[in-house]
Structure 1
């Protein structure tokens, strides 16, 4: 079983057949001239998936298989951060070890096939609330993606963020506001932020200039005990009106979890940031390591591992932060 990340190249229709090259962790020093023309078999860990693939391409590998470094019920779903020139697949630790101990050692060939879908469709759902008086108001966007990955039910990623955004829409529908409020429920986030990108690039210049902030909710309700911090992910790692407002709100309302400003993309806030709109991704992670929950992108991403208390905490933090902006 294999998962193909967004950005992977396709194989020929008959698939890619080649010998395996044990590229260990995929660092530059893990490759030799023998990697050329082979499929690089790489373990997860220490460097990013994007770097692993780039090093394999540089070494002349014709494809990449990345296997997990921990036992999970489903295959690894790597995020490679953009398009690449070779086909890439994610597999489980068990599959990776089996390939190493059998196929690679015996210098056998493997075949894997990647087909690009060209007619798939997705949807965005947009809800807007405008002040009763005036026009050309500043806009505050609350976003959450509602898709998940194959084999993962998606309770945390991202029914948690979607549910909090829906609840905020319900609560804020009757509050007096002085700025425009938009709820952006984006599809196709997991295959390259396509839904949010589609939404943002269709904003007019006037709408972008009026866009004050984007609060992006993603994986805010995990019950994983190690995820004690709410990370405020900024694409450039810099504070902005969203992170500043959240920090001020947390101090004012007594948010129990630590808030950590962190440099990270990989969610729909990237689309807003690239358009010049201040954006922050709210997500739960483990302090110091920034690790995500072990259920991430696996069949164990179920409601059993969702915390009602943490959903409430995220809703109160983001809701109070948003309202402090739209009521002015």
Structure 2
């Protein structure tokens, strides 16, 4: 936990925020005196100055991490994240009796790489990246061995030749997860593993996922860096290598915050979520402070209205470590509770400075029925407001993933992360082609200055939340599984296969 001074600083932040951020009505007023929510009425209450004030508050909270991390951060397990959770909880608790508010605590697996170095032959591959949640090399010292090329995809024990024992395994990406490849290399006796991209022109970084005692220190490299060594090995030549990783993988308590309207049909819930944590490298004011703030603003102003369907807000912990909070939440739902969630909407990175208005390209052929209807609702709203939009892959990069995999329709909007804006998008949205949508993605400079306030306010308007809180008429109904023990499904096809699980590739 954090020191008394930090607690006092956090209390001051929350107190200052609550002044001027209170809803426009007295919450003791009878619900009968409130109007039914409408998109236009809710949108009118979303103000740029309130969004900016909350961003400043979150940055002050991130500064609670300076003593431990030497810079502001809200990474899960840090004082900055504990402070963020308290800030969210206290803000919602201040809204009197409109919401049922709860915390959900679980253990988050957190990994930190302090130092890493890979040398193959006589050089260090420029693309070398240690994987997230990689264990360290033996005794956190450099290990040495021949580079050994693994057969096929490295997804079967038989793919690993005897010569891999005491060596460094070189494995192609594909077919099975990075974690499976690392574990199989470890079982075969490798002292480290290097996974190279099967696609040209891109470096390879990802996560090993849930820790295994068989995992070995694992790097990713590009196809271009790997090919010269592969050619030598196939010609029967020897290639020596060394690997070094100083890292730690630990369990840390983490907390989701859940708030549900007391009004509205409790058996038909509209759910929306954002993640409350940042990466360790920075304060995460856009990623995903912006989504956190959007939800807080909408939850605050929704109290001015009645709803026909309950609205459930969630702030997830541990997204940056691999969607840990949302995974845990969905895993704890009983079949009866699962089926009460009619739709899940994801708010992740609402204000990237070189933004594009992005909609997840979810459809009913590959995703639970209803995902496509949400996508079309977003498209219609942008069009109605004279705004361009673009579609992005629905590939598991954010907290919708667990919902989709468990039969709950989902989707969402974003403004872009490390992807590069195209010339066509420069014409559509302004900004600069050839530059990341968020040049400060996962970096220390993701601070208050890293927000495009015009995109921020547009994406906080919450049209989809208000629309479905008002009515789900015509929206596909959830269909229960015939098996009482099975999770309710919504005709989820086998075709949904995410390459990501959060910000990292998993396969």
Taking structure 1 as the reference length, the TM-score comes to 0.72
Distance 1:311 1:41, change over 3 A: farther
In the other structure, the counterpart of 2:250 is: 117
1:274-312 deviation per Cα after TM superposition (whole angstroms, max 9, x unaligned): 222112243223589897634222223223221111111
Is the 1:200–1:271 contact (alpha carbons within 8 Å) kept by the matching residues of 2? yes
Gaps of 5+ in 2: 1-114, 117-128, 230-238, 426-435, 472-507
| Counterpart selection for 1:63 from 181, 184, 192 | 192
Q: Which moved more, 1:155-164 or 1:238-247?
A: 238-247
Distance 2:136 2:241 in 1: 22
Equivalent runs, 1:163-202 vs 2, <5 Å: 163-202=293-332
The whole-number CA distance in structure 2 between the counterparts of 1:309 and 1:89 is 41
Shift of 1:325: 0.9
| Aligned match of 1:247 | 376
Find the aligned partners of 1:16 and 1:311 in 2 and give their Cα distance: 46
| SS of alignment partner, residue 116 of structure 1 | strand
Give unmatched runs, 5+ long, in structure 1.
71-75, 101-105
SS in 2 for 1:214: strand
| 1:264 aligned residue | 395
Give the greater-gyration-radius structure (CA): 2
What secondary structure does 2:346 align onto?
Answer: strand
Deviation at 1:147, TM superposition (A): 0.7
Aligned to 1:8: 134
Aligned-partner Cα distance in 2 for 1:8–1:249:
38
Q: Equivalent residue for 2:455?
A: 310
SS of 2:454 mapped into structure 1:
helix
The equivalent residue for 2:441 is 296
Q: Which deviations, in whole Å up to 9, do the C-alpha atoms of 1:110-138 show, x marking residues without a partner?
A: 432333313x1111111111326xx5430
Taking structure 1 as reference, are residues 143 and 200 closer, same or farther at Cα in structure 2, changes over 3 Å only? Answer: same
CA gap of 1:239–1:206, structure 2 versus 1, over 3 A, is: closer
Is 1:324 aligned to residue 467 of structure 2?
yes
Match of 2:272 in 1: 142
Alignment of 1:279 onto 2:422: no
Contact 1:232 1:260 in 2 (8 A): yes
Give the match's secondary structure for 1:155: coil
Q: Give the match for residue 144 of structure 2.
A: 19
Residue 259 of structure 2: which of 117, 123, 127 is its match?
127
Which of 212, 215, 218 is 1:86 aligned to?
Answer: 215
Give the Cα separation in 1 of the matches to 2:147 and 2:362: 35
Change in CA separation of 1:246 and 1:265 when aligned onto 2, cut-off 3 Å: same
SS of the residue 1:154 aligns to: coil
Question: Per the alignment, do residues 209 and 32 of structure 1 end up closer, same or farther by CA in structure 2, a change over 3 Å counting?
Answer: closer
Instruction: Label 1:169 to 1:82 Cα distance change in 2 as closer, same or farther (>3 A).
Output: same
Contact (CA 8 Å) 1:269, 1:279: kept in 2 or not?
yes
Change (3 A) 1:204 1:32: closer
RMSD: 4.4
Question: 1:30-69, aligned counterparts within 5 Å?
Answer: 37-39=166-168, 61-64=190-193
* Secondary structure of the structure 2 residue equivalent to 1:206: helix
* Distance in 1 of aligned mates of 2:194 and 2:437: 22
Deviations 1:91-114 (A, max 9, x none): 999xx9xxx9xxxxx957443233
Q: In the comparison of the two structures, how many residue pairs are matched?
A: 302
- Contact 1:152–1:300 at 8 Å: present in 2 too? yes
Q: Measure the CA separation in 2 of the matches of 1:52 and 1:204.
A: 30
Distance, in Å, in 1 between the alignment partners of 2:304 and 2:467 is 15
User: Which whole-Å CA distance do the structure 2 matches of 1:22 and 1:305 have between them?
Assistant: 43
DSSP 3-state at the match of 2:248: coil
SS of aligned partner of 1:137: strand
Tell me the equivalent position of 1:212: 342
Instruction: Single out whichever of 108-117 and 76-85 deviates more from structure 2.
Output: 76-85
Deviation for aligned residue 1:269: 0.9
Give the superposition deviation at 1:259.
Answer: 3.6
Report the alpha carbon displacement of residue 270 of structure 1 after superposing the two structures with TM: 1.2
What is the CA-CA distance between 1:58 and the residue it aligns to? 6.4
* Matched residue SS, 2:255: coil
1:142, distance to aligned residue in structure 2 (A): 0.8
